[in-house]
Amino acid sequence: MVQKKTRLDFMEMKKKGEQAVWITAYDFPMASFAEQAGMDMILVGDSLGMVVLGYQGTIPVTMEDCLSHCKAVRRGAPNTFCIGDMPFLSYQISCEEAVLNAGRFLKEADMDAVKLEGGKRVCNQIKAIADAGILVMGHIGLTPQSSGQLGGFKAQGRDAASARELILDALAIQEAGAYALLLEAVPPELTVFITKKLSIPVYGIGAGGPCDGQLLICGDMLGLFQAFTPKFVKKYANVAEIETNAFKEYIKEVKTGVFPGDEHCYHILKGKEEEFYKMLKEFE
């Protein structure tokens, strides 16, 4: 049985220069495969809105959506450090709502930590959540919940002025009490600088490296999500093609009478055949 990692293990990994590897997962099978494979942690991302619920972005995702998927993931990966992603408007309105909603991820879905998007502007919420004894991870760079303000799903920190803002955000997030930080879609040069500057673990998705670990969205790396593939994704499988081909084969076999075969059938119990056919005759 794998031993679930803790915040201290992730700190130790940073000190030793050991990479933490994680993916997003949204359901029981995906989470159990991730745990069996030896993933260091799992994010139940609000990207579930796009990958499994078919929305165009993450804005419509609700607390109830997130909690329901977190519960399924926890059942699939009981021994993996799991992070619940706080959806849009679950933390922006007030520190009080942020703490209440962060707490629901722990109390109702047995998550180990929560993640929220934004820099200086959400530091009061990060502090309030951390002060309540909850592990909270920051997330800056390309923050999908504010992609409207960013002008789309665009890389961030590519010039000195915006990179400076991200460094200030990273420092403020650490100061507010976050236990870790995620950088999304920023230049590797900035990632390396922030990773060295911060004492908490700094992870990247589309942020190059080296940093303290890498995250990929399961739908992207498995080739499940077809709407678009960001430049930073490496596809390790093409599950969409495997599934579509399997469905096509099934349709063909049913229509041509190949499936179901005799080996897929439950037959009349041995010794009960005569009685069975006699019964059928009653209806003729």
Which residues are annotated as catalytic?
184
User: CB-wise, 52 or 130, nearer to ligand KIV?
Assistant: 52
> Applying CB under 6 A, which of residues 40, 85, 112, 169 lies at the interface with ligand KIV?
85
Kindly write out the interface string for residues 51-80 of this chain, putting x where it contacts ligand KIV by CB under 6 A and - elsewhere: ------------------------------
Query: Rounded to a whole number, what is the distance in angstroms from the first to the last CA of the chain?
Result: 59
Q: How far is the CB of 49 from ligand KIV (least distance, A)?
A: 8
Element (H, E) at 222: none
> Applying CB under 6 A, which of residues 24, 80, 101, 125 lies at the interface with ligand KIV?
24
Which of 39-47, 71-79, 153-161, 223-231 is the region at the interface with ligand KIV (rule: CB under 6 A)? 39-47
In angstroms, rounded to a whole number, what is the distance separating the alpha carbons of residues 280 and 46?
55
Chain positions 228 to 247 lying near ligand KIV, rule: CB under 6 A, are none
User: CB-wise, 14 or 22, nearer to ligand KIV?
Assistant: 22
Cis geometry, peptide bond prior to residue 210 (ω within 30 degrees of 0): yes
User: CB-wise, 144 or 187, nearer to ligand KIV?
Assistant: 144
Q: How far is the CB of 270 from ligand KIV (least distance, A)?
A: 54
- Work out the number of other CB atoms within 10 angstroms of the CB of residue 275: 10
Please report whether residue 169 would count as binding ligand KIV according to CB under 6 A. no
Please report whether residue 46 would count as binding ligand KIV according to CB under 6 A. yes
User: CB-wise, 43 or 111, nearer to ligand KIV?
Assistant: 43
Sign of CA dihedral 260, 262, 266, 272: positive
Which of 40-48, 70-78, 173-181, 220-228 is the region at the interface with ligand KIV (rule: CB under 6 A)? 40-48
CB 115 within 8 A of CB 127: no
User: CB-wise, 29 or 260, nearer to ligand KIV?
Assistant: 29
CB 190 within 8 A of CB 202: no
**Backbone φ and ψ of 116, nearest 5°:** -140, 155
> Applying CB under 6 A, which of residues 20, 137, 140, 205 lies at the interface with ligand KIV?
205
Chain positions 252 to 281 lying near ligand KIV, rule: CB under 6 A, are none
Element (H, E) at 21: strand 20-24
Please report whether residue 214 would count as binding ligand KIV according to CB under 6 A. no
CB 166 within 8 A of CB 192: no
User: CB-wise, 160 or 227, nearer to ligand KIV?
Assistant: 227
| List of residues contacting ligand KIV (CB under 6 A) | 24, 43, 45-47, 85, 144, 182, 184, 205, 215, 217
